[in-house]
Structure 1
């Protein structure tokens, strides 16, 4: 990998809740679970943090994560950022992480289509792309106190909605809430479309109550900036961040430079033949 992953010593130094003995205990447990892949110290930290340092919840989340990756391998394979398919999806949608966090310390994942042409839209590739950006950010920057997903709906058309696959949406929302090592704090849509109710009716049945309560639709910036201050937003949205296109290029280049990271991550799956029967 061209860009180094974050040094775990930095994480111990800046987080008093993170205890080496807790991390070692989780690693010891993981090494006794023969069906799981071998995880490293950074991975154990990410899962512990995402579960608010609850050991048993972290164990469940680790098992959920690697089992989901194995059962739904189509979302976690063929992810070479230089490939034609991945270049195509990266050219037609912006997925980036803003440089500045919210006052609460939440990282902001931003998603937007480049234009309204739905011919280039493939839900599986889009979700794969979002996950790649999030996971590389986690490994390079370390855990965040929370993540907000911010979606600009401006270029979304009814043709995009017709291409949504309910089973795939359901699976990804399960992964996001119960397997991915992040603290999901909210989902925010702005520039909402007329048929926003169609999207909400699709995703709400698969969201936990606390996430439904943290789901917001913003028709004006006045409500959005209550959650995402102007100084966190790109300048093309009235903020002080660099323009979205430049943030996107940085992320895109980062994915390409770290292709080896995704190759490594693809090897981390469960072996069900070795799972201990209860």
Structure 2
């Protein structure tokens, strides 16, 4: 995989003191339960935490701990596995080539297969995280990120296949552990049962996420946040069609298959070596038996 050039990133963000990032790297490498991460990876966390060393330490520990204990999203990252092949046929997840005028980068997720019986939420989220990790590694730090979820083709059948604990885990990761500055979380082509989807999400969303959550009844409203010209041609934009942008990134995952499997190994916590008490999945997410699937009427 081709990592974004470090010198260019520091030039683009002159407020970041490289000496501080290097101190952060030294701290990471001094932790017995963490593996050695690169300066480029550390930079993502330092930037996402607005240059707060203490916050960055907490977030990177949480990130690696979630990756270790949330196996359904972050383990078995062989893109040739049958469940990931199915996910690639089920959903389109891809970044847009261009940024907003503010420099924000956009990540799109949408259903490709309307047949709910082929939808496995955990596998689709695993694919989502794999594309996101590869993109972030290659793209480097940015002023902010926007997530766009297109609900076209989404049915109550899809919603019924999302476990409450799975939703809790993903939103926990997004809010507490992801090394990004999330500027906007936009739903487009919203569905009549939007209240049921929000009922699934609401218990696990902090105020900060709710403040950047947008529901768009029409695309003109959405274009106020993401200019139409930088969108795929499916939305009247100037970029290639969604399936082309999707295929480009899915092919990258195939090209970097071994790298992604190695990436998984390097982003694990050794709980036996953690100073103090080891953490478990229930420490992060609660007891799984207390969570049921959302009842869909």
| Structure-1-length-normalised TM-score | 0.96
Equivalent of 1:130, from 128, 131, 143? Answer: 128
* 2:162 paired with 1:170: no
| Unpaired segments ≥5 residues, structure 1 | none
CA distance in 1, matches of 2:77, 2:212: 31
What is the aligned partner in structure 2 of residue 18 from structure 1?
16
Aligned 1:158-237 pairs, distance under 5 A: 158-237=156-235
* Residue aligned with 2:148, SS: strand
What is the aligned partner in structure 2 of residue 51 from structure 1?
49
* Residue aligned with 1:189, SS: strand
| Structure-2-length-normalised TM-score | 0.90
CA distance in 1, matches of 2:168, 2:189: 24
Aligned 1:45-194 pairs, distance under 5 A: 45-194=43-192
Offset of residue 249 of structure 1: 0.9
Offset of residue 100 of structure 1: 1.1
- For the 8 Å contact 1:185–1:211, the answer to whether it is kept is no
Equivalent of 1:265, from 224, 241, 263? Answer: 263
* Residue aligned with 1:79, SS: coil
Cα distance per residue 1:117-161 (max 9 Å; x no partner): 011100100110111111100100101211111111110011001
CA distance in 2, matches of 1:256, 1:121: 21
- For the 8 Å contact 2:93–2:131, the answer to whether it is kept is yes
After superposing on structure 2, the runs of 4+ consecutive aligned residues of structure 1 that deviate more than 3 Å are: none
CA distance in 2, matches of 1:175, 1:155: 26
Cα distance per residue 1:39-89 (max 9 Å; x no partner): 111111111111111111000001001111111123211221223221111
Which shows bigger deviation, 155-164 or 183-192? 183-192
The CA RMSD measured in Å over matched residues stands at: 1.3
CA distance in 1, matches of 2:85, 2:184: 28
Which shows bigger deviation, 60-69 or 205-214? 205-214
| Unpaired segments ≥5 residues, structure 2 | 278-297
Cα distance per residue 1:165-202 (max 9 Å; x no partner): 11011011111111111111121111111100000111
What is the aligned partner in structure 1 of residue 27 from structure 2?
29
CA distance in 2, matches of 1:184, 1:22: 23
CA distance in 1, matches of 2:78, 2:272: 29
Which shows bigger deviation, 4-13 or 92-101? 4-13
- For the 8 Å contact 2:89–2:113, the answer to whether it is kept is no
What is the aligned partner in structure 1 of residue 242 from structure 2?
244
Cα distance per residue 1:231-253 (max 9 Å; x no partner): 12111111111111110111111
Cα distance per residue 1:184-223 (max 9 Å; x no partner): 1121111111100000111122112121021111111111
CA distance in 2, matches of 1:143, 1:73: 26
